């Protein structure tokens, strides 16, 4: 089979803010189906697998023709869930972790993540950021900030405003978009390492990789994909795709 590139979409039924989110329907399609359709059209992808711990999601994915696998209910994070699926497929060399609640993500952005990890021999992981133009967003702890070096490798991610502005106007701020590409070994390494101090402090899993010396390649994009976290987000998306 050689070296496949796979998009794996982790999908849970239970969500603290919006339960059953992957199975909400807009324009007669499940949210998870919208995401899957973007994924299967992406260039450079050999297969797309939904990873879920819920039979309702499993059955819905089967219904619209997706490849889907059941995973343990005990995973603490999406990367643990995708690692379980990847471990069953030795032919998969590159894994893209695409969130199941971002139906508006652009295929070009997914392609950037793939290129970041496939074409860069130094990168263990790849991800996306976008410039933050809004002052309030910079201070919002729910929007994770990222600083990266001159070669576009991440130096740190934080919920705090980084860098600190001693001299105003000298720095740009970048917000992190939660999509990751992994080399196979990097995914297994990261998910087998214990949680690190910065990770526990900020509640950001990617800090485990950085604290262990792994390299995360960052690509800058200029659009903001809107994730669906609340019923209000879903209603907005629904009215957008149903043209109301």
Quick check: 128 and 222 in contact, CB under 8 A? no
Question: Which tens digit of pLDDT belongs to each residue from 130-189?
Answer: 999 988 899 999 899 999 999 999 999 999 999 999 998 889 999 999 899 999 999 999
Helix (H) or strand (E) holding 243: none
SS3 category, 175: strand
Render the burial of 73-103: b for 16+ CB within 10 Å, e for the rest: eebeebbbbbbbbbeebeebbbbbbbbbbbb
Per-residue pLDDT of the chain (244 residues; tens, 9 = 90+): 569 999 999 998 887 778 899 999 999 999 999 999 999 999 999 999 999 999 999 999 999 999 999 999 888 888 899 999 999 999 999 999 999 888 989 999 999 999 999 999 999 999 999 999 988 899 999 899 999 999 999 999 999 999 999 998 889 999 999 899 999 999 999 999 999 999 999 999 999 999 999 999 999 999 877 788 889 999 999 999 988 6
Quick check: 234 and 17 in contact, CB under 8 A? no
pTM over 0.85: yes
Report the distance separating Cα 229 and Cα 18, nearest Å: 6
Residues in the chain: 244
pLDDT of residue 135: 86
Quote the percentage of the chain above a pLDDT of 70.
99
């Amino acid at each position: 089979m050689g070296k496949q590139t796979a998009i794996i979409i982790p999908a849970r039924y239970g969500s603290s803010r919006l339960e059953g989110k992957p199975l909400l329907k807009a324009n007669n399609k499940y949210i998870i189906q919208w995401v899957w359709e973007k994924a299967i059209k992406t260039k450079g992808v050999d297969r797309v697998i939904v990873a879920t711990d819920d039979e309702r999601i499993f059955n819905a994915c089967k219904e619209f023709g997706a490849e889907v696998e059941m995973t343990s209910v005990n995973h603490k994070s999406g990367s643990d869930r995708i690692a379980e699926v990847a471990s069953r497929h030795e032919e998969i060399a590159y894994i893209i972790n695409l969130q199941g609640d971002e139906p508006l993500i652009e295929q070009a952005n997914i392609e950037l993540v793939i290129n970041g990890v496939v074409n860069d021999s130094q990168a263990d992981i790849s991800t996306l950021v976008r410039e933050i133009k809004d002052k309030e967003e910079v201070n919002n702890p729910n929007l994770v900030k990222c600083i990266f070096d001159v070669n576009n490798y991440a130096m740190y991610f934080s919920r705090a405003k980084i860098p600190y502005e001693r001299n105003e106007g000298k720095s740009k701020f970048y917000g992190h978009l939660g999509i990751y590409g992994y080399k196979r070994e990097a995914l297994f390494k990261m998910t087998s390492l214990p949680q690190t101090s910065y990770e526990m402090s900020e509640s950001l899993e990617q800090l485990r990789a950085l604290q262990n010396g792994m390299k995360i390649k960052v690509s800058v994009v200029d659009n903001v994909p809107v994730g669906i976290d609340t019923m209000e987000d879903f209603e907005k998306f629904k009215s957008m795709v149903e043209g109301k």
